[in-house]
Amino acid sequence: MLLTFTDWQVETMMNKLIKTFGGRKSFMFLVTLTAVCTLSAFNKASTEVLGLIDTLYLVYAGANVAAKKKENKTNEQ
């Protein structure tokens, strides 16, 4: 039997999963850590791949922080 999910069900499951892990940034950190550990376990963790994963995570987290600072400036005015 093949399980099928609607968009709403997938969105609900993802929201619950993200809340369980403490938010979007915490969830992304754990996904990044899992990816790095998996690559290391299978001896596929080259410097370039690890650098790319690290950079992508930092860009995601940095963009999130920059957006919040911009929101705070508009609220103060």
DSSP letter (8 states) at residue 23: S
Residue 59 pLDDT greater than 80, yes or no: no
Residue 72 pLDDT greater than 60, yes or no: no
Q: What span, in angstroms and rounded, lies between the C-alpha atoms of 33 and 50?
A: 10
Q: What is the pLDDT of residues 5-29, one digit of tens each?
A: 788 888 888 889 888 888 877 787 7
Q: What is the pLDDT of residues 39-53, one digit of tens each?
A: 888 888 788 888 887
Query: Whole-model pTM?
Result: 0.55
Burial 28-40 (b: 16+ CB within 10 A, else e): bbeebeebbeeee
Query: 38 is written with which tokens?
Result: 């998996």
